[in-house]
Amino acid sequence: MNRNKNLYWYGFFAKLKQIAGVYLIAFSFFISLMLSLYSGYLFNLFWVGLVLGLILIFKGKSQRFDYKMQSGYMVHSGDGC
């Protein structure tokens, strides 16, 4: 029973990473867009946010896939994430 609780939180944090990645990309885009009106070199903030957001999304997706494999949700490799 304790394993199920651990798996639940494992899956929860995986989904949280994905959501945080999407919000980080959107936030960095809008902030860098506003800041680029005042100074052009701050547009690089978007690229940093984009890379970090993509890393969070991919790590969350791989962790979510691992969660589904460990919990028995996926029967065979043909099932989608």
User: Other C-beta atoms within 10 Å of 24: how many?
Assistant: 20
Residue 27: pLDDT above 60?
Answer: yes
- Provide the pLDDT for residue 12: 85
23: pLDDT strictly greater than 90: yes
Tell me what percent of the residues of the chain surpass a pLDDT of 90. Answer: 17
> Is residue 49 predicted with pLDDT exceeding 70?
yes
DSSP letter string, the chain: -HHHHHHHHHHHHHHHHHHHHHHHHHHHHHHHHHHHTT-GGGGHHHHHHHHHHHHHHHHHHHHHHHHHHHHT---STTS--
> What pLDDT, on a 0 to 100 scale, did the predictor assign at position 5?
66
Ranges of each domain in the chain? 2-71
Q: How many CB atoms lie within 10 A of CB 53?
A: 21
66 or 75: which carries more pLDDT confidence? 66
